[in-house]
Chain A
């Protein structure tokens, strides 16, 4: 018979104890962290859903690769293993390792971007935006309108607005060195981009002679969601779908800390050999020699294996179903979340849930504080703290106030997920009593990481 239960396609080889704390201890820890969960000591967190980046559990195959790491400074065999794996998965000929995804962005943008240039993206992620702006570029977000409607059930809310892209490329002719598309679209709720959308974007880029790069952090999850949701893709493997996505682009940046199933690492890949050569000249300055790119040999091995594990169908089915399972429990309890559930996280809609808190008092930020104090859960604000500050220094409320509960890969079990649901249901009973926060101090760039707050 066909069993309905979807199980983890692995068993546990190594465990890491987690520490229980009392509500009083957590309230004190949060005050000491100046109401910024980024500044908490990880030991004080029970369930850490801050990010799915670099927090996954590696497989025994990856750990055995770690022991095979060739630490030669130049020409190491681990690089050859890495290069082969990236080529197989992406199809790109030129493979440049970097210590993580933001370094790939830094190399790419510092090579191709001039001050005043414009980079369109469906939605830039925070580090991508910061790297574009650091070069004096303008980071333009062009998501489809449904992307900003939390309740919409459009299956591909991560898509790019193709008509808007056409307008931007016409209006800024000669000032757009490349177009980027982020799959899945993290800042819009981990929502996938359809293959039809990437094709349409490719076509616009081709007509305007502008290269297309994919921010490929979660390419495997996006491929799986295409398989589930897009007509004509049901019978194809995630690997085939991913290859088609990459084939539509000229290159990609990748944080291997997501769908590379690794704790560190990233890469930049492309077909243009001349551009790759220029990127490598920059690479040796800030990252490392081209055959290690700022990574240990053992990391290259772990990524080479991880990229392939991320495309395993049983794994992807389990991964996406875990997120969906929590989403169903929350929807049943009437807790507002971004629908449909995406690839790597649940996004709580704080604007609706805590509608009594004005955006100037950062409702999503306040919710991250509450989740920690009540249940020891650490989530991340994706709202006006992260996106509110404009390049000219002014403040503008973000379109959405979300709290992202991102699930590390292969780390938490179903009972952990049940506990998270229980905490959220409890928070739902006291939602109206949650108060906003006031920002005390913040740096100019990427302020959410280190800003400090106090209760409003």
Chain B
């Protein structure tokens, strides 16, 4: 029979107890956190969907690998194992390990970007753009228009619009464009994939203009699965085979192993050019660690090598994305506005559609994340205007077309019942959505402000300020919380 369900290809070996909080505890916790879910203590969180980064459960084989860590400062055998795994599945002959993905971005940006350069990419990512700007470049979004439309059902919303790219390249000249930065999948677009066909065309274009093509390979395995599922010409190919071809079309990659590769820490920079790799090695030693450990313990290199092998298996990817689709489908069935189609690592709630009464200046997505936490103890992440920050030149707020709340699913951590609770909670908040009120900054950091920003409620009655006291008690009685403030 052809299996339709996404049952996990593993059983549970070690568990971590969760704490269920009362409404009163959550009221206090979110206030103390300045209405920023990043600033909550994890002990006050019930289901933690803040990120899928570094939050995975490792396998027994990975833990066994942790015990095989060779902590020699130089030439650790775990490095050679990782090098083999990366070359086998990603195909890059030159490997520079880093403590995590942004370590690789830091080194890459310093090497390739000169002040005044321009870097096109398929939608920005927070830390990636911050590194590009720090090195003196301007980022240009060249993703297709459909990516900015949460309701579009286009299957490859991560694709690059080659016409937009060509406009940037013609305007500034290829010499001012050190590389094109292509993410697979595109996080800020809702975990949307890029097609192999689009990547091939992009390669052809960059080759013709002598521009490097750099892949953000963070969730490339998940992208490969979407290609297998949705691109007719690629149906029947193995995920691992598609992954190799995706990488073969690029000159290098930055990788956060904390996503696809199922580890709690670690990343790498993969390159083809040996001279560029030498330059990267002399930088990595200053910021990260010697080039054979890159700021990671030997055991972390080993866990990542094993994690890579596990991550490319068909049954793993199917179960991983199957769980995300399961949650997404429940919300779609209930009529909750989400980014369509459902992406690889998260379900993205469309806060603009859910809270149409809130102006952008009151940060609807930030408010929705706070409301969801208050309602049920679920922690999500804002991916809208707060994450987008201010324009480097004008200092004005950037209001991206997408104002989203991300429900990110850690790998191999939560069960189907946890997904059910999550869906119920979101639906419960949607019921009282018109009562939700906005937020304003009380502390705004200069860079990557979403991490540490603090807010206060615009309405004196708080996040659910639109609700009178008896109505509010009624709303809470409908959830299973019994402790009234």
Instruction: Say yes or no for A51: interface residue by CB 8 A criterion.
Output: yes
Contacts A43-B77, A51-B73, A285-B448: A443 and B39 contacting too (C-beta < 8 A)? no
B50 touches A73 (CB 8 A): yes
Contacts A100-B289, A296-B300, A449-B291: A45 and B72 contacting too (C-beta < 8 A)? yes
Where the two chains meet, the residues of B that have a C-beta atom closer than 8 Å to any C-beta of A are 14, 16, 33, 37-45, 48, 50-51, 53-56, 66-67, 69-77, 80, 99-100, 102-103, 106, 127, 130-131, 134, 263-265, 278, 281-282, 285-291, 293, 295-300, 445-448, 451-452
Instruction: Say yes or no for A259: interface residue by CB 8 A criterion.
Output: no
A72 touches B452 (CB 8 A): no
Which of B48, B75, B134 has most chain A Cβ within 10 Å?
Answer: B75
Q: For B43, give the chain A residue with the smallest CB separation.
A: A77
Instruction: Say yes or no for A288: interface residue by CB 8 A criterion.
Output: yes
Q: Which chain A positions have C-beta within 8 A of B299?
A: 263
- CB contact between B74 and one of A42, A294, A297 (< 8 Å): that residue: A42
Q: For B102, give the chain A residue with the smallest CB separation.
A: A286
- CB contact between A102 and one of B38, B74, B131, B289 (< 8 Å): that residue: B289
B286 touches A130 (CB 8 A): yes
Instruction: Say yes or no for A183: interface residue by CB 8 A criterion.
Output: no
Please report the C-alpha to C-alpha distance between residue A50 and residue B73 in the assembled complex, in whole angstroms.
7
B106 touches A286 (CB 8 A): yes
Please report the C-alpha to C-alpha distance between residue A285 and residue B43 in the assembled complex, in whole angstroms.
25
Contacts A103-B287, A449-B291: A75 and B41 contacting too (C-beta < 8 A)? yes
Q: Which chain B positions have C-beta within 8 A of A71?
A: 54-56, 264
Q: Which chain B positions have C-beta within 8 A of A14?
A: 67
A450 touches B265 (CB 8 A): no
B290 touches A54 (CB 8 A): no
- CB contact between A444 and one of B42, B50, B282, B288 (< 8 Å): that residue: B282
Q: For B448, give the chain A residue with the smallest CB separation.
A: A284
Please report the C-alpha to C-alpha distance between residue A55 and residue B38 in the assembled complex, in whole angstroms.
33
Q: Which chain A positions have C-beta within 8 A of B448?
A: 281, 284-285
Q: Which 10 A-B pairs have the closest CB atoms?
A: A42-B72, A72-B42, A296-B264, A99-B99, A263-B297, A296-B265, A264-B297, A75-B41, A443-B282, A42-B75
A76 touches B291 (CB 8 A): no
Report A36 CB to chain B, min CB distance, Å. Answer: 9
Instruction: Say yes or no for A280: interface residue by CB 8 A criterion.
Output: yes
Contacts A102-B286, A296-B54: A53 and B281 contacting too (C-beta < 8 A)? no
Q: Which chain B positions have C-beta within 8 A of A16?
A: 70
Number of residues from A at the complex interface, CB < 8 A: 65
Could you name 18 residue pairs across A and B whose Cβ atoms are closer than 8 Å?
Answer: A14-B67, A45-B72, A50-B72, A69-B264, A72-B55, A73-B50, A74-B39, A75-B39, A102-B287, A127-B286, A130-B286, A284-B448, A286-B103, A286-B106, A287-B102, A292-B54, A294-B265, A445-B285
Please report the C-alpha to C-alpha distance between residue A70 and residue B55 in the assembled complex, in whole angstroms.
9
B286 touches A264 (CB 8 A): no
A443 touches B288 (CB 8 A): no
- CB contact between A264 and one of B33, B51, B296 (< 8 Å): that residue: B296
Contacts A285-B448, A298-B264: A449 and B290 contacting too (C-beta < 8 A)? yes
0/1 interface trace, chain A 265-290, chain B, CB 8 Å (1 if under): 00000000000000011101111111
Q: Which chain B positions have C-beta within 8 A of A76?
A: 41-42
B134 touches A285 (CB 8 A): yes
Q: For B38, give the chain A residue with the smallest CB separation.
A: A74
Mark out the residues of chain A between 53 and 78 whose CB falls within 8 Å of any chain B CB in the assembled complex: 53-56, 66-67, 69-77
Q: Which chain A positions have C-beta within 8 A of B80?
A: 41
Report B223 CB to chain A, min CB distance, Å. Answer: 22
Instruction: Say yes or no for A39: interface residue by CB 8 A criterion.
Output: yes
Q: Which chain B positions have C-beta within 8 A of A134?
A: 286
Please report the C-alpha to C-alpha distance between residue A280 and residue B42 in the assembled complex, in whole angstroms.
19
Q: Which chain B positions have C-beta within 8 A of A290?
A: 451-452
B45 touches A72 (CB 8 A): yes
0/1 interface trace, chain A 161-190, chain B, CB 8 Å (1 if under): 000000000000000000000000000000
Report A339 CB to chain B, min CB distance, Å. Answer: 26
Report B376 CB to chain A, min CB distance, Å. Answer: 17
Please report the C-alpha to C-alpha distance between residue A444 and residue B66 in the assembled complex, in whole angstroms.
35
Additional pairs, 16, CB under 8 Å, beyond known A16-B70, A284-B447: A40-B74, A40-B75, A42-B75, A42-B77, A48-B72, A71-B264, A74-B40, A102-B286, A263-B297, A264-B300, A280-B452, A281-B445, A281-B447, A285-B130, A289-B38, A299-B297
Contacts A42-B74, A53-B73, A103-B287: A294 and B295 contacting too (C-beta < 8 A)? yes
